Amino acid sequence: MSYDTINLSRLEEALAELSYPVSREDAANTLDGTTLLLADGEADLGELVAATQGDRYTSREELQYSLHNTLPTEAVGERYQSEGEG
């Protein structure tokens, strides 16, 4: 993995570099030490993957979905805010 730090908006790119199918453990180990920049703070991407529910992921989309379910609500910004309203 070639990322030390990555924005949440670029998560898809980092996950695309994994070879699928991939076990949760292998993905977590590969991504360990990569800092994921969130709207309110940061987190270790490997630790987030380790906290997901699946044991194995067959695609980037599947892992990304599982990660989004693991992220704290503060990760994506203020709750109930819509970028389309203004």
pLDDT tens for 1-54 read 567 999 999 999 999 999 999 999 999 999 999 999 998 889 999 999 999 999
pLDDT at position 77 is 56
pLDDT surpassing 60 at residue 83 = no
Q: Are the C-beta atoms of 75 and 38 separated by less than 8 Å?
A: yes
Please state, in angstroms and rounded to a whole number, the distance separating the CA atoms of residues 11 and 18.
12
Question: How far apart are the C-alpha atoms of 14 and 77, rounded to whole Å?
Answer: 21
| Helix H or strand E segment including 23 | strand 22-23
- pLDDT of residue 79 exceeding 70, the answer is no
Give the chain's mean pLDDT: 86
